[in-house]
Structure formats: C-alpha cells, structure tokens
Amino acid sequence: MIKSKTFKRLYKDYTSIFINKIILAAVFSILVALSTSATAWLLDPAIEKIFINKDQTLIILIPLAIIIAFSAKGISLYFAKLIMINVSEEVKKILQTDMLKSFIKADTEIIESKHSGKYVSNLNFDVHQITRMLSESFLSIFKDGLTLVGLLCVMFVQNWKLSLIAIIMIPLASITAKILGKRMNKISTQAQEKSGDLNRYLIDLFKNHKIIKIFQRENFEEGRSETFVNDFKEKSAKIAAVYIRSTPVMEILTGIMIAILIFYSGRLIISGELAINNFFSFLAAMMLAYQPVKTLAKVNIAISQGFAAAERILPIIDIKNEINLNEDKKKFNISKGNIIFDNVNFHYKSNPDNKVLQNVNLNFAGGKMTALVGHSGSGKSTLLNMIPRIYAPTAGSIHLDDQDISKFNLASLRSQISIVDQNTTLFDDTVLNNIKYARPEASNEEVFEAAKQSICNEFINNLENGYETMIGENGVKLSGGEKQRLSIARAFLKKSKIILLDEATSSLDSKTEEKIQKALDQLVMNKTTIVIAHRLSTILNSDKIYVVDSGKIIDSGRHEELLIQSKVYKNFYERQFKEH
C-alpha cells in the first residue's frame, strides 16, 4: 500500500512531466526488443538456406540483415539509455530543489532536531537511489521485458514444447528477486543511516578541527573515523552482496535448464520432430533471453532501494511548519513598537517535559531599551527568538503594537527586525555580500556607510581585496571580533525599527567594545531594543531590566531598583564588579 502511494506521488509530482520522453524511450526499447528477436530468428533461415540448401543469394542477404539488426539494436539502446539518463537527472534536480526549499522554509526547531549530516545524506544518497531506479530499473523493465517477450515468441514459433520447459525459469527468477528485494529494502535503510552518520562526523571534524589539535585528540579521531567509514563500508558491501546474490542462483537455474533442453531437443531431433535449423534458432533465442531474465531478477532489488529512499525523502519535502508564513495575511503596521508577551510558555517538541519558558509576561516599551539578565540556559535567547517567530509559543501570545504576531504576514514582521547574535553566522562569500545580505537592494555606498558606523572599515581596508575579499566558511579568515562587527554592520544596513542584541559585543576586546558601544548607541536610538548581556556594564542605562531564571521572570525594574529588590541581580552585579 505504501509503495503504491509512493509510486503515484513520484509519478504525479516528478515524472509525469517527462512522460513524452519516457514514451520515446519505450519506443526505442521496442526497437531493441525487435532487433534482438530478429537476430535469433534469422539463424533459422541462415542454417536451412545457407548451410543445408546452399542458397547463393541468401548467403549475402542474411548476414546483411544480421548487421542491420545489431546496428538497430545498438543505436536504439543508446538513445533509450540517453533519454532515461536525462529524465533521471531532471528528476534528481527537482527532488533536490524541493528538498532544499523545504530546508530553507522549515521551522528552526525541525532543522535542529536532526544533525545536518543526516540531511546531507538524504539529499545525496537517497536521491541517487531514486534516480538510479529511474535511469536503470524502469528502462530495464521496458527494454528487457519487451526483449524477453519477443524472444519467447521466437522460441514458441520454433518449438512450443521446448518453450514450455524454458519458461519455467521466469517464475523461479521472480521468486528469487522478490526475496532479495525485501532484504535489500532493510539493508538500504541501514546504509542510508550509516551514510548520514559519516556525513555528520565529517561536518563535526571540519567544524572542530582546531579543538582536536588543542586537546591532542588526533589518534582518538582517527579511530572514530575508521569506525564510521568501516560501518558504512559494511552496509555498502552487504548491499553489493545481496545485489549479486541472484547471480549464482540464475547461473545454476540456467545450467539445469540448458541441460534439460539439450537432452529433450536431442530426442526430438532423433525422432524427426525438430529440425536442426529450428533447434539452433530456438537455442539462440533462449541464450539471448538469459540476459533479460537475469537483469529483470535484479530490477526488483533496485526498485526496492528506490522506494525505500523515496519514503525517507518525501516526508522531508512535505514538512508541515507550525510557524506559518501568512503570506496572504495583512502586513504589520508598526507605529510605537511596543512588544507584549502574554502568559507565554514554550518547550521543545523533542523534550516536552523541559519547560523552557513558563507563564512569561513582558512589556517591552517602544523606542526604549530593555535588557534581559540571567544565568546561561535560563531562557533569554529563546525569548528573543520568539519576537521574529524563530520559535512559536506552545501557549500564550505575543503582540506588537496590539497586533498578534502569529496572525499577520511574517515577512512584514521580520523586515522590521535586526538581530546581532553571539553566534555570528557568515557565508563563504565576499565581505561586501555578507554585509549586503541584510538588504540585497542596498547600494555599495550604503554598505560602506554601515561598515563605517560599525567600525568595520578599519579592518576591511587592510584585507587583501578589501570588500571583495572572500572570508571563507563562516568567516574562518576573520577574527571573532571582526566577524561580530560584520554582523553589527548588517543591522546598521537593514535600518529596522526593532533591534535584538544577544551578546552583541561578547567577542570584542575592551577598546573595540567601547567603540562599538558608541555605534550601537546610535543604532538603537529611538528604536525598540532588547538586549541580552552577561556584562552588566553594557546595560546599566537600560530603561528596564528583566531578571530571568529557569524560564520565569523573577524581577524587573531599573538598575538602581534591582540592586535593592532583587537578590539574584545584586549577586550578578557584585560578582562582576569584584572580578574587575
């Protein structure tokens, strides 16, 4: 039942648009079948007319006909394969595009629920299984199925009794294929998991390369890498072993069948019921039929792999997001920029018992600066990420200027928000394009001004190619402070009404932090600003400070008020200033 639904979905969404090409490949497959059958049939008149009757005319015509038959087969087979390869690559492109679109639009919580290496395996390993099913297996069904039918017709024309004996081989081969197909389905799924594990490990290896060296874990990681590679090798070897397991079965069946046929046909020839020319034509057809039967026995295995892969891929393409884009809904009209959290609760789907936020009530005044203070893991960053709807509350609501943010156009909300995160994310692109990512339509002059405001131009001008310098994967060629300043430059360029700062100066030295702080003061002027900072010195002038502890708001007020009324805040403050 599942395979039937999967087949219909693959046909409807991915192959139906190429039906004309597939039909053309089927036409070429018919030509392959006819030319192969013709080759076997031509042996009958060749032996009778040339070798027995010594016909001088046919000694030229029959060999010429055989050349034409083989040529037609070769050319038709080439075009049939070429068409199906092109179709399968087009399907591969569409599948991978749909998967990437799904990844891009998916809720952050969904993406974070599985390691990126697993998704990479789905994108490469699984899609390859589907395209292989199309380019090889479905073509084999057309080509080898029709060829087998044509050769069986030749065999029955030559001698129906021998044909009935030979045809027994087909159901035996089908039983073998069905058994191996079930086994292949299970192993293919296991191999995909091991491929995902290997990709996951590879990503971690590159990401943590410096850590491995600092802690001198090279030998340990060599052992781990060998384990991951070996596990994947074992599953790949099992797939190959199952795939070729039909070979000895088919060889044994063929050997038994040929022996029986030679014995029985010998008796028919001796009794005069079968002419020698009919026997050779039948034998040629039977020997040519062996390859299609053997190939069709393996087709079920490849199809099982393809369907198993499709059943892993299609749920990814069909991901249902809880955070709706609301593209058809009304756009936000932001006037004051007041943000209110009303009894907001949140937990991750993967761990519903861990209450990240509990009955949170907040009021962020428009055009003012509000700070969130608390221990690491208390829920501050989660609160911040709920404003642009990176996460959605499991209960409660959030309002922006008395507008429920879950019921308005999401793009219009996010267009009004800039965030500078402690985990700066950059692309393997130029400095210019990384800043411009915040507002692609911005002019270069606007980018230069944003860089100047964020004190980026100091280091950018010293780079080899200035703004056109490639910064490497996630800005690997830049220091932590330089990366964070680029992130701040993006916020300047976007010119949004709401600014979210999550440890925005955490990677900066005190001298640079002082410069950036002045720039940030300009950035947040008359804007709704929410700040998370472990260094209390950066938020002392906030209009309001909320103290967050274990997902709850335990205190609020200005700095001077909290020093008197909040033990937690006072403890933070005294501990930090003792350290300095």
pLDDT digits (tens, 9 = 90+) for 169-186: 667 666 766 666 666 666
Instruction: Please check whether residue 373 is in contact with residue 569, taking contact to mean a CB–CB distance below 8 angstroms.
Output: yes
Two tokens, residue 132:
């292989």
Could you give the count of Cα atoms lying within 13 Å of 57 in the half-sphere of its Cβ? 1
Strands 395-400 and 552-557: unpaired
For residue 33, which of 132, 133, 165, 154 has the smallest C-alpha distance? 154
Amino acid at 221: E
pLDDT exceeds 60 at position 2:
no
Strands 403-404, 339-346: pairing kind: unpaired
Q: Give me the chain's average pLDDT, please.
A: 84
Do residues 72 and 147 lie in contact, with contact meaning Cβ atoms separated by under 8 Å? no
- Residue 572: CB partners within 8 Å, gap ≥ 6? 373, 536
344 has a pLDDT exceeding 60: yes
Segment 70-98 mean pLDDT: 92
**Distance, CA of 512 to chain centre:** 40
Query: Any idea which residue has 């030559």 for tokens?
Result: 158
Q: Per residue in 495-536, pLDDT tens?
A: 889 999 888 776 566 776 777 777 778 788 888 999 997 778
Q: How many CA atoms lie less than 13 Å away from 572 in the CB half-sphere?
A: 25
More confident: 574 or 314 = 314
pTM comes to: 0.77
Strand order of the sheet with strand 339-346? Answer: 357-364, 339-346, 395-400, 403-404
More confident residue, 570 or 114: 570
> Two tokens at 461?
């001008």
Amino acid 558: pLDDT: 92
Tokens of 93: 């492109």
User: How many angstroms separate the CA atoms of 384 and 336, rounded?
Assistant: 19
pLDDT band at 125 (very low <50, low <70, confident <90, very high): confident
Average pLDDT, integer, range 32-38? 91
Distance CA 545, CA 537 (A): 13
At a CB cut-off of 8 Å and minimum separation 6, what does 91 contact?
14, 15, 18, 130, 131, 134
Which of 7, 295, 261 lies closest to 142 in space, CA to CA? Answer: 295
Q: Over 70: is that where the pLDDT of 30 sits?
A: yes
Rounded to an integer, the average pLDDT of 2-22 is 87
In order of 137, 179, 532, the CA distances from 294 in angstroms are: 13, 15, 67
- What pLDDT, in 10s, does the model give residues 91-103? 999 999 999 888 8
- What pLDDT, on a 0 to 100 scale, did the predictor assign at position 1? 42
Three-class DSSP category at 353: coil
Question: What mean pLDDT comes out for the span 539-548?
Answer: 89
**Distant-in-sequence, close-in-space partners of 288: CB < 8 Å, separation ≥ 6:** 36, 39, 40, 147, 151
pLDDT confidence of residue 352: 86
Residue 552: the pLDDT is 92
Distance CA 261, CA 283 (A): 9
d(CA 145, CA 39): 17
Q: Which residues pair with 340 in a beta bridge?
A: 363, 399
Asked if 454 and 519 count as a contact pair (C-beta separation under 8 A), the reply is yes
Q: What are phi and psi of 175, to 5 degrees?
A: -60, -45
Q: Residue 358: which H helix or E strand, with range?
A: strand 357-364
**Which positions ≥6 away from 376 have C-beta within 8 Å?**
534
Produce one character per residue of 554-579: b if its CB has 16 or more CB atoms within 10 Å, e if not: ebbbebeebeeebebbeebbeeeeee
Domains of the chain from N-terminus onward: 2-199+234-317 (1.20.1560.10), 334-416+498-507+530-580 (3.40.50.300)
Please state the rounded mean pLDDT for residues 532-548: 85
